[in-house]
Amino acid sequence: MAVTTAAYSGDNRSAQRGRPRDASRDDALRQAALEVMAEVGYRALTMDAVAARARAGKATIYRRWESKLDLVIDTCTQLASQNLATPDTGTLDGDLREFLSSFAAFLSGPIGKAAQALVGELPHEPELAAAFRETFLISQRNVLRGIIDRAGDRGELRPDAPRGMAVELAGAALTYRLMLTGDPLDETFVNKIVDQVLVPLIKS
Amino acid sequence: MAVTTAAYSGDNRSAQRGRPRDASRDDALRQAALEVMAEVGYRALTMDAVAARARAGKATIYRRWESKLDLVIDTCTQLASQNLATPDTGTLDGDLREFLSSFAAFLSGPIGKAAQALVGELPHEPELAAAFRETFLISQRNVLRGIIDRAGDRGELRPDAPRGMAVELAGAALTYRLMLTGDPLDETFVNKIVDQVLVPLIKS
């Protein structure tokens, strides 16, 4: 009798009252959502497909997120907060090169594919668009802005340097290759953007 | 009796044997495809929806295009060839300003929305990706390259001007606002791109 109870409680762990939600399980579900979205896009994504990918029940997913919009927004938010480190090499060139290399690598993985899948939906889904911009766009924009402002504090920039334009161009250049042209997002390209465009644009 | 026949033949014009295909009818069907794509995206577009929008029969569409992929590729191809004029003001600044203003207006209309709807599908549809790049991307790239090369012929550019990079940045800056940030694609932005970025990057 005791053994049977233990076996049942093992099968129903997440349903036990008062037990904290398993954060690593949430991450696995978000990872599954990301992979499905990268493969089929937002519109064709279903909770069933995410559940199947994560080897979870559909109820497990609905216990955590009310709708696929909730799930996708939460997935974007969590991922954006985890993946962008701020470099501090002591020079504008060094910081830009290090950050844009890591951002290019980040975009080349499943997150970039999922972001691409979302782009076509932004005009039709205002809540998704707001979340996408707050997470995916603003997080990288803030890191770039910090890099540039610190270079300004060190006296590396021209007084009239168009800082906002430099931030916008860096994001534009990388996402254009990722999503539209398909040309490589490699070290050579990052070096060209830094040396030919960003540094001449703002450095004194 | 004669009146009745005339009325019927009016209803069935496109079905008459030996009559050449009506080019303006093709354009109306392409316009309908573009509008449906801008609204629902490529994946959710159906031949039925395009037929309904154009007030045509589904057979009318299938007589012209084998599949929705055919229809969408042909629509992109036709539109790209019609809409981009090459300015020739005699200066680099003038040509860039005129072309980028008209390209910004072009992107802000239904073609920009349709292009945005296609972006998420490019990784999954290699034929569509090839057509999209050959039409939407390469046609604007060729106009920009022509503008820059003519400025070079007039001696307006630095010998080491990164011409390809200028072309890429112009396309990237406009499509980033259109598809990702949603910030305005207006005259102010075009002037900033020309004056702060493109002209300093390549002009001697």
- A95-129 pLDDT, tens digit per residue, is 999 999 999 998 888 888 888 888 888 888 888 89
Closest CA to A191 of A84, A100, A86: A100
User: Structural domain of residue A191, as residue ranges?
Assistant: 84-202
Chain A residues within an 8 Å CB radius of B137: 180-181
Chain B residues within an 8 Å CB radius of A118: 120
Statement to judge: residues B121 and B155 lie in one domain: yes
Statement to judge: residues A153 and A191 lie in one domain: yes
Q: Would the CB atoms of B181 and A44 count as touching at under 8 Å?
A: no
Cβ atoms of residues B136 and B80 within 8 Å = yes
Radius of gyration of chain B (CA): 21
Q: Which two tokens stand for residue A70?
A: 């909730």
Residue A1 three-state SS:
coil
For residue B76, the Cα-to-chain-centroid distance in whole angstroms is 6
Q: What is the CATH number of the domain that holds B109?
A: 1.10.357.10
β partners of residue A203: A157
Dihedral of alpha carbons A31, A36, A42, A43, sign: negative
Closest CA to B120 of A29, A130, A112, A48: A112
Does A161 lie at the interface with B, CB-CB under 8 angstroms? no
Does A110 lie at the interface with B, CB-CB under 8 angstroms? no
Statement to judge: residues A94 and A188 lie in one domain: yes
Does B159 lie at the interface with A, CB-CB under 8 angstroms? no
Residue B27 three-state SS:
helix
Q: Would the CB atoms of B176 and A180 count as touching at under 8 Å?
A: no
pLDDT band at A11 (very low <50, low <70, confident <90, very high): very low
Q: At which residue do the structure tokens 């990872």 appear?
A: A31
Statement to judge: residues A89 and A163 lie in one domain: yes
B17, burial (CB in 10 Å: exposed 0-12, middle 13-18, buried 19+): exposed
Reported ipTM exceeds the 0.85 cut: no
Residue A55 three-state SS:
coil
- Residue B74's pLDDT is 87
Q: What is the CATH number of the domain that holds A29?
A: 1.10.10.60
Does A173 lie at the interface with B, CB-CB under 8 angstroms? yes
Of B41, B123, B182, the CB nearest to A113: B123
β partners of residue B157: B203
Statement to judge: residues B91 and B191 lie in one domain: yes
pLDDT band at B82 (very low <50, low <70, confident <90, very high): low
Quote the CA–CA distance of B75 and B70 in Å, as a whole number.
Answer: 8
pLDDT band at B134 (very low <50, low <70, confident <90, very high): confident
Let me know if residue A76 belongs to a domain.
Answer: no
How much of chain B exceeds pLDDT 70, in percent? 88
How distant, in Å, are the alpha carbons of A28, A34, A101, B101, B138 from that of A79? Answer: 12, 10, 18, 36, 34
Of A119, A165, A182, the CB nearest to B120: A119
pLDDT band at A153 (very low <50, low <70, confident <90, very high): very high
pLDDT band at A85 (very low <50, low <70, confident <90, very high): confident
Let me know if residue B11 belongs to a domain.
Answer: no
Q: Would the CB atoms of B179 and A122 count as touching at under 8 Å?
A: yes
Let me know if residue B33 belongs to a domain.
Answer: yes
In this predicted structure, which of A19-28, A57-66, A192-201 has the lowest mean pLDDT? A19-28
* pLDDT above 70 for A168: yes
For chain B, what is the mean pLDDT?
86
Does B192 lie at the interface with A, CB-CB under 8 angstroms? yes
Question: A166: which DSSP letter?
Answer: H
Of A120, A169, A176, the CB nearest to B117: A120
- Residue B3's pLDDT is 35
Of A117, A119, A196, the CB nearest to B179: A119
- Residue B15's pLDDT is 43
* Alpha carbons within 13 A on the beta-carbon side of A64: 27
* Number of domains within chain B: 2
Residue of chain A nearest B194, judged by CA positions:
A165
Statement to judge: residues B97 and B146 lie in one domain: yes
Question: A66: which DSSP letter?
Answer: S
